[in-house]
Structure 1
Amino acid sequence: MLLPVASSCGTSSALAADAGHGADLAKRWCASCHVVASGQAQASADVPSFASVARRPDFSPERLALFLLDPHPKMPDFPLSRTEAGDIAAYIGSLRP
Protein backbone atom coordinates (compact mmCIF):
# COMPACT_ATOMS: atom_id res chain seq x y z
CA MET A 1 0.00 0.00 0.00
CA LEU A 2 2.94 2.32 0.61
CA LEU A 3 4.21 2.04 -2.95
CA PRO A 4 1.09 3.56 -4.60
CA VAL A 5 1.17 6.43 -2.13
CA ALA A 6 4.85 7.07 -2.81
CA SER A 7 4.36 6.93 -6.56
CA SER A 8 1.45 9.38 -6.32
CA CYS A 9 3.97 11.99 -5.19
CA GLY A 10 6.01 11.45 -8.35
CA THR A 11 6.27 13.58 -11.43
CA SER A 12 2.66 13.14 -12.54
CA SER A 13 1.29 14.61 -9.30
CA ALA A 14 3.76 17.49 -9.49
CA LEU A 15 2.56 18.27 -12.99
CA ALA A 16 -1.04 18.27 -11.75
CA ALA A 17 -0.24 20.53 -8.79
CA ASP A 18 -1.74 24.02 -8.72
CA ALA A 19 1.03 26.60 -8.30
CA GLY A 20 -1.53 29.43 -8.03
CA HIS A 21 -3.21 27.73 -5.08
CA GLY A 22 0.25 27.08 -3.64
CA ALA A 23 1.02 30.81 -3.85
CA ASP A 24 -2.17 31.59 -1.95
CA LEU A 25 -1.34 29.02 0.73
CA ALA A 26 2.24 30.29 1.01
CA LYS A 27 1.10 33.88 1.48
CA ARG A 28 -1.31 32.80 4.20
CA TRP A 29 0.79 30.24 6.08
CA CYS A 30 4.46 30.76 5.19
CA ALA A 31 4.97 34.51 4.75
CA SER A 32 5.37 35.21 8.45
CA CYS A 33 8.75 33.45 8.31
CA HIS A 34 9.73 33.12 4.60
CA VAL A 35 9.82 35.66 1.81
CA VAL A 36 7.35 33.91 -0.46
CA ALA A 37 6.94 36.49 -3.24
CA SER A 38 8.78 39.41 -4.72
CA GLY A 39 7.85 42.65 -3.08
CA GLN A 40 7.36 41.09 0.34
CA ALA A 41 9.00 43.47 2.79
CA GLN A 42 9.50 41.35 5.89
CA ALA A 43 10.29 37.81 7.03
CA SER A 44 12.53 36.05 9.54
CA ALA A 45 16.20 36.67 8.88
CA ASP A 46 17.33 33.10 9.51
CA VAL A 47 15.06 31.27 7.05
CA PRO A 48 15.50 30.92 3.28
CA SER A 49 13.29 32.75 0.83
CA PHE A 50 11.19 30.60 -1.45
CA ALA A 51 13.22 31.89 -4.43
CA SER A 52 16.45 30.68 -2.81
CA VAL A 53 14.88 27.28 -2.13
CA ALA A 54 13.83 27.08 -5.80
CA ARG A 55 17.38 27.92 -6.98
CA ARG A 56 19.02 25.08 -5.06
CA PRO A 57 20.67 22.69 -7.51
CA ASP A 58 19.05 19.67 -5.83
CA PHE A 59 15.54 21.20 -5.80
CA SER A 60 12.75 18.73 -6.50
CA PRO A 61 9.05 19.57 -6.09
CA GLU A 62 8.35 15.95 -5.15
CA ARG A 63 10.96 15.90 -2.36
CA LEU A 64 9.86 19.30 -1.10
CA ALA A 65 6.22 18.20 -0.93
CA LEU A 66 7.23 15.15 1.13
CA PHE A 67 9.38 17.38 3.37
CA LEU A 68 6.39 19.66 4.00
CA LEU A 69 4.27 16.70 5.09
CA ASP A 70 6.85 15.47 7.60
CA PRO A 71 6.89 17.36 10.92
CA HIS A 72 10.26 18.94 11.65
CA PRO A 73 11.43 21.04 14.60
CA LYS A 74 12.26 24.32 12.90
CA MET A 75 8.87 24.76 11.23
CA PRO A 76 5.37 24.88 12.70
CA ASP A 77 3.38 21.70 12.22
CA PHE A 78 0.84 22.83 9.62
CA PRO A 79 -1.86 20.29 8.85
CA LEU A 80 -1.19 20.25 5.09
CA SER A 81 -2.90 17.74 2.85
CA ARG A 82 -0.83 16.02 0.16
CA THR A 83 -2.50 18.23 -2.41
CA GLU A 84 -1.68 21.42 -0.50
CA ALA A 85 1.95 20.35 0.01
CA GLY A 86 2.18 19.58 -3.72
CA ASP A 87 0.67 22.96 -4.59
CA ILE A 88 3.16 24.85 -2.38
CA ALA A 89 6.04 22.85 -3.86
CA ALA A 90 4.75 23.61 -7.38
CA TYR A 91 4.61 27.30 -6.52
CA ILE A 92 8.19 27.24 -5.24
CA GLY A 93 9.21 25.36 -8.37
CA SER A 94 7.61 28.08 -10.50
CA LEU A 95 10.12 30.53 -8.99
CA ARG A 96 13.09 28.76 -10.61
CA PRO A 97 14.90 31.02 -13.06
Structure 2
Amino acid sequence: MQICHAAIFAVAFELTGSAALAADANHGAELAKRWCATCHVVSDDQKQAVADVPPFAAVARNPDFSPEKLAFFLLDPHPKMPNFPLNRAEAADIAAYVASLRK
Protein backbone atom coordinates (compact mmCIF):
# COMPACT_ATOMS: atom_id res chain seq x y z
CA MET A 1 0.00 0.00 0.00
CA GLN A 2 2.87 2.41 0.80
CA ILE A 3 4.38 1.77 -2.63
CA CYS A 4 1.06 2.68 -4.27
CA HIS A 5 0.88 5.97 -2.33
CA ALA A 6 4.49 6.76 -3.21
CA ALA A 7 3.81 6.08 -6.89
CA ILE A 8 0.72 8.30 -6.88
CA PHE A 9 2.69 11.08 -5.18
CA ALA A 10 5.53 10.76 -7.70
CA VAL A 11 3.15 10.97 -10.66
CA ALA A 12 1.29 13.92 -9.15
CA PHE A 13 4.58 15.73 -8.50
CA GLU A 14 5.74 15.02 -12.03
CA LEU A 15 2.53 16.47 -13.48
CA THR A 16 2.46 19.58 -11.31
CA GLY A 17 6.02 20.10 -10.10
CA SER A 18 7.75 19.78 -13.44
CA ALA A 19 5.63 22.52 -15.00
CA ALA A 20 6.52 24.89 -12.17
CA LEU A 21 10.20 23.98 -12.42
CA ALA A 22 10.16 24.52 -16.18
CA ALA A 23 9.04 28.16 -15.90
CA ASP A 24 11.76 30.62 -16.91
CA ALA A 25 11.73 33.79 -14.78
CA ASN A 26 14.35 35.46 -17.00
CA HIS A 27 12.18 34.98 -20.07
CA GLY A 28 9.22 36.17 -17.98
CA ALA A 29 11.13 39.39 -17.19
CA GLU A 30 11.72 39.98 -20.90
CA LEU A 31 8.03 39.39 -21.69
CA ALA A 32 6.93 41.63 -18.81
CA LYS A 33 9.16 44.47 -19.98
CA ARG A 34 7.81 44.13 -23.51
CA TRP A 35 4.09 43.66 -22.80
CA CYS A 36 3.32 44.70 -19.23
CA ALA A 37 5.55 47.74 -18.58
CA THR A 38 3.16 50.11 -20.34
CA CYS A 39 0.82 49.84 -17.36
CA HIS A 40 2.75 48.08 -14.54
CA VAL A 41 6.10 48.83 -12.95
CA VAL A 42 7.76 45.52 -13.72
CA SER A 43 11.33 46.15 -12.53
CA ASP A 44 13.32 48.36 -10.18
CA ASP A 45 14.84 50.35 -13.03
CA GLN A 46 11.43 51.39 -14.41
CA LYS A 47 10.42 54.92 -13.47
CA GLN A 48 6.88 55.30 -14.81
CA ALA A 49 3.62 53.38 -15.22
CA VAL A 50 -0.13 53.92 -14.90
CA ALA A 51 -0.91 55.28 -11.44
CA ASP A 52 -3.79 52.95 -10.48
CA VAL A 53 -2.12 49.71 -11.60
CA PRO A 54 -0.16 47.68 -9.03
CA PRO A 55 3.59 47.21 -9.52
CA PHE A 56 4.67 43.60 -10.01
CA ALA A 57 6.51 43.65 -6.66
CA ALA A 58 3.22 44.50 -4.90
CA VAL A 59 1.45 41.71 -6.77
CA ALA A 60 4.16 39.29 -5.59
CA ARG A 61 3.75 40.39 -1.95
CA ASN A 62 -0.02 39.84 -1.98
CA PRO A 63 -0.82 37.15 0.64
CA ASP A 64 -2.98 35.29 -1.93
CA PHE A 65 -0.27 35.29 -4.60
CA SER A 66 0.73 32.05 -6.24
CA PRO A 67 2.46 31.63 -9.59
CA GLU A 68 -0.14 29.08 -10.66
CA LYS A 69 -3.07 31.43 -10.00
CA LEU A 70 -1.31 34.31 -11.76
CA ALA A 71 -0.51 32.18 -14.83
CA PHE A 72 -4.15 31.09 -15.04
CA PHE A 73 -5.28 34.71 -14.61
CA LEU A 74 -3.01 35.82 -17.47
CA LEU A 75 -4.50 33.25 -19.82
CA ASP A 76 -8.08 34.36 -19.16
CA PRO A 77 -9.17 37.55 -21.01
CA HIS A 78 -9.98 40.48 -18.70
CA PRO A 79 -11.87 43.68 -19.34
CA LYS A 80 -9.30 45.78 -17.44
CA MET A 81 -6.28 44.36 -19.25
CA PRO A 82 -5.35 44.16 -22.91
CA ASN A 83 -5.75 40.70 -24.38
CA PHE A 84 -2.19 39.52 -24.97
CA PRO A 85 -1.81 36.31 -26.96
CA LEU A 86 0.16 34.45 -24.27
CA ASN A 87 0.64 30.73 -24.43
CA ARG A 88 0.83 28.63 -21.25
CA ALA A 89 4.62 28.65 -21.12
CA GLU A 90 4.78 32.44 -21.47
CA ALA A 91 2.14 32.93 -18.77
CA ALA A 92 4.10 30.58 -16.48
CA ASP A 93 7.32 32.47 -17.25
CA ILE A 94 5.76 35.84 -16.35
CA ALA A 95 4.29 34.33 -13.17
CA ALA A 96 7.72 32.91 -12.27
CA TYR A 97 9.25 36.35 -12.79
CA VAL A 98 6.65 37.99 -10.54
CA ALA A 99 7.27 35.27 -7.93
CA SER A 100 10.98 36.09 -8.05
CA LEU A 101 10.15 39.63 -6.88
CA ARG A 102 8.61 38.41 -3.63
CA LYS A 103 10.66 39.71 -0.70
Q: 1:9 to 1:93 in 2, by over 3 A?
A: farther
Aligned partner of 1:33 in structure 2 is 39
Greater radius of gyration (CA): 2
Which is richer in helix?
Answer: 2
Q: Between the two proteins, what is the percent identity of the paired residues?
A: 72
Counterpart in the other structure of 1:52: 58
1:9, distance to aligned residue in structure 2 (A):
8.3
Deviation of residue 14 (structure 1)? 1.7
The aligned residue for residue 3 of structure 1 is none
Partner of 2:8: none
1:22 and 2:28 correspond: yes
Alpha-carbon deviation of 1:10?
Answer: 3.7
Paired positions, count: 91
- Aligned twin of 1:4: none
Q: 1:18-65: per-residue Cα shift (whole Å, max 9, x none)? A: 000000000000000000000211000010000000001111000100
| TM-score scaled by length of structure 2 | 0.83
Instruction: Give yes or no for contact 1:9–1:62 (8 Å, CA) kept in 2.
Output: no
Q: Which residue of 1 aligns with 2:10?
A: none
Which sections of structure 2, spanning at least 5 residues, go unmatched?
A: 1-13
List, as ranges, runs of 4+ consecutive aligned residues in structure 1 with deviation greater than 4 Å. Answer: none
AA at the equivalent of 1:52: A
The answer to whether the 8 A contact 1:19-1:94 is kept is: yes
Q: Say if 2:64 is the partner of 1:73.
A: no
Q: Tell me how large the CA RMSD over aligned residues is.
A: 1.7
1:31–1:81: structure 2 CA closer, same or farther, 3 Å change rule?
A: same
Question: Normalization by structure 1: what TM-score?
Answer: 0.88
